[in-house]
Chain A
Amino acid sequence: MESTGVRHLSLPFKLSALQVILILVLTVAAIVVVFPFVWMVFTSFKYESDVFSWPPRLVPTQWTTDAYRNIWSQIPFELFFRNSLIFAGGVTLISLFLDSLAAYSFSRFDYPGRDAFFILVLIALMLPFQVTFIPLYITVQKLGLLNTFGGLIIPRATNAFGIFMLRQFFSGIPRELDDAARIDGASEFYIYARIIMPLSGPALATLGIFHFMYNWNDFLWPMLITKTTEMRTLPAGLALFMGEHVIDNALLMAGATLALLPLFIAFLFAQKYFVQSIVMTGLKE
């Protein structure tokens, strides 16, 4: 690490012509890609008259933090934020628990029907959610779970992709470790909780980010299951406010900025895990 750091420092003086061209191209591409977000942040600091000025301007003529102060009273932003946190956090925790239990079963025990069940998991992995969302909606409705956190979270309490991924990871942990504990009389749950789980930190972090990001951003599912403003999550709530009641556009941009912020900060701190979870999502999408 140290030595690459030093090499990086000296790099700018030894850039080849190709690298200079690449940096220029990449910079232009990065500006184009980031532009909508830059505009979003700038607009969140504008006065309404500035938002509607023609021709439109990117940078505010006059800066204001009104939007960030008013958003809490104008939109039930705190509520949406809290709902999103309960929904995404709840799904993440419960799903990590159930996924890892099932993965432990598939990787550690040999029993009749195991392979058949695993094939079912793989089928669930391939299925597009969009194909089943209407019967799923009916099921949630029949269980009386519409517009509840139970209805949002329970159908996502386990995830075929998570089971599959953790099973692959658990299979890579040497069996000698848990066999030794078994001989010492440790219970299966103890082995799962005290040996397998602590050894799976990176895999659990990666999967946890995947679950959290997916559910924090999810739009269609909370849109279907929640009916009242009190139950809306951030994406569903903001989208509705955009459609219906919002008069103040800077406010909406402030809301969008604040909704993106938690993931963005998490991303900056754990870029490696984010990238890993995205590389793996390939299997899921």
Chain B
Amino acid sequence: MTQHPLTVENRTVPDRLRLAANGIVHAVKRRETRYGYLFMLPSMITLSVFVFWPIVQSFILSLQKWQLNGKETVWVGFDNYRRLFEDVRVQGAFTNTLQYTAVVVPASLIIALLLALALNERVPGRTIFRAAFFLPVIASFAIIAIVWRFLLNPDIGLLAYWSSQAGIPTRAWLRDVRYAMPAVMIISIWKNLGFNMVILLAGLQGIPDVYYEAAKVDGASRWARFRHVTMPMLRPTWTFVLIISIISSFQVFDQVWVLTPRGGPLHSTETIVTYIYYQGIELLDISYAASIGVILFAIVLVLTLVQLRLFRFREVDL
């Protein structure tokens, strides 16, 4: 190829083509940029105003003292955070949240796994069973609160009556310091079960039959097949469910608030988010609530990063 001087007069045909092509590429690029932004803008504006700005505001608020009617802003540095570390109710809320997580996550996962394994055994009526376990998932917390508070009502509740007949020394489940949290935990396990089960069942059904057949040919027992085929193949799904369960446990609010409003008897069911709600919405100490929110945000961020490391953005499988 000979080098052509790139002057206007001396342009050769290939040069002109290349320039024309460049022009088209630029036009296409401009067009793509224009339409790209146009299509994305409505979502980005909404997210900016209602998601990103509130996050930034959380941080700012946590460094201020919130004045209910005062117009001026009072900066207090890390005072809210200092207060937070000395607040016994914050400590209680963290302890309760950790206890809740330590009980509800393993229990609902193990029961869900057992149910999923059973359903995976080609039992007849699988869709009916699945629908039954799924019912609490589609019920709102308002319905759940209405039903369970009544069932556990010491004066008229059927379950309260049955549990006292069974020798449990309380009838006032949700009003008793010792039993309020266990009751909330049991109801949460009941509510989360179907959700976990459906994901685990999808994972189980994703294991190719050939692995089981190969294991059978090798004379592997049922237990050996479970141990050496099911468990390792299910691990990604299992870890996934585990981490999202932990993350959502740290943010538990609805069931706790509707079953035992304002943290339950002697704050025995107070969790991090119910305490944020109490401080921010009920007491209107918005700065203090924001500082607790920032701490929770940090925790969730760490958990999410762990999740991302483990999954490298697990794609949605439809």
**Contact status A188-B145, CB under 8 Å:** no
> A135: which of B53, B127, B199 is its contact (CB, 8 Å)?
B53
| Contacting residues, chain A, for B258 (C-beta < 8 A) | 219, 239
Contact A105-B39, Cβ < 8 Å, known A124-B47, A276-B318 = yes
**Contact status B254-A188, CB under 8 Å:** no
Closest to A132 in B: B54
Top 4 A-B pairs, shortest CB-CB distance: A217-B140, A235-B142, A109-B36, A105-B39
Closest to B245 in A: A285
In the bound assembly, the distance between CA atoms of A236 and B138 in angstroms comes to 16
**Contact status A104-B130, CB under 8 Å:** no
| Stretch with Cβ within 8 A of A (4 or more), from B14-22, B154-162, B211-219, B223-231 | B154-162
**Contact status A163-B43, CB under 8 Å:** yes
A128 within 8 A of B: yes
In the bound assembly, the distance between CA atoms of A264 and B143 in angstroms comes to 13
- Report the interface size for chain B: residues with CB under 8 A from the other chain: 100
B94 within 8 A of A: no
Interface majority SS (helix, strand, loop, mixed), chain A:
helix
**Contact status A111-B33, CB under 8 Å:** yes
> A280: which of B118, B241, B280, B316 is its contact (CB, 8 Å)?
B316
A203 within 8 A of B: yes
**Contact status A279-B199, CB under 8 Å:** yes
| Stretch with Cβ within 8 A of A (4 or more), from B3-11, B67-75, B285-293 | B285-293
| Contacting residues, chain B, for A110 (C-beta < 8 A) | 29, 32, 36
| Contacting residues, chain A, for B257 (C-beta < 8 A) | 220
A271 within 8 A of B: yes
| Stretch with Cβ within 8 A of A (4 or more), from B85-93, B99-107, B175-183, B296-304 | B296-304
Show the binding face of A for B, using Cβ within 8 Å.
8, 11-12, 15, 18-19, 22-23, 25-27, 29-30, 33-34, 36-37, 39-40, 43, 51-52, 54-58, 98-99, 101-102, 104-106, 109-112, 114, 117, 120-121, 124, 126-128, 130-139, 154-158, 160, 163-165, 168-169, 188, 192, 202-203, 206, 213, 216-220, 224, 234-236, 238-239, 242-243, 249, 252-253, 255-256, 259-260, 263-264, 267-268, 271, 274-276, 278-283, 285
> A267: which of B54, B61, B138, B296 is its contact (CB, 8 Å)?
B138
Tell me how far the C-beta of B192 lies from the nearest C-beta in chain A, rounded to whole angstroms: 10
Most chain A CB neighbours (cut-off 10 Å) among B118, B129, B146 = B146
**Contact status B47-A120, CB under 8 Å:** yes
Closest to A37 in B: B135
Most chain A CB neighbours (cut-off 10 Å) among B156, B286, B318 = B318
**Contact status A126-B136, CB under 8 Å:** no
Closest to A268 in B: B131
| Contacting residues, chain B, for A117 (C-beta < 8 A) | 40, 44
**Contact status A39-B54, CB under 8 Å:** no
B137 within 8 A of A: yes
**Contact status A279-B198, CB under 8 Å:** yes
Chain B positions 175 through 206: 1 when the CB is less than 8 Å from some CB of chain A, otherwise 0:
00000000000000010011100110010000
> B140: which of A18, A156, A235, A281 is its contact (CB, 8 Å)?
A235
Contact A139-B54, Cβ < 8 Å, known A98-B42, A282-B241 = yes
| Contacting residues, chain A, for B81 (C-beta < 8 A) | none
Contact A219-B132, Cβ < 8 Å, known A18-B121, A134-B286, A282-B241 = no
**Contact status B147-A256, CB under 8 Å:** yes
10 residue pairs from A and B, CB less than 8 Å apart: A15-B124, A26-B118, A30-B129, A36-B147, A110-B29, A131-B55, A192-B39, A217-B140, A235-B141, A282-B240
Contact A155-B50, Cβ < 8 Å, known A29-B115, A126-B301, A219-B258 = yes
> B47: which of A101, A160, A252 is its contact (CB, 8 Å)?
A160
Closest to A32 in B: B190
| Contacting residues, chain B, for A263 (C-beta < 8 A) | 138-139
Closest to B30 in A: A111
| Contacting residues, chain A, for B127 (C-beta < 8 A) | 271
**Contact status B157-A259, CB under 8 Å:** no
In the bound assembly, the distance between CA atoms of A255 and B136 in angstroms comes to 16
Closest to A243 in B: B261
**Contact status B58-A134, CB under 8 Å:** yes
Tell me how far the C-beta of A40 lies from the nearest C-beta in chain B, rounded to whole angstroms: 5
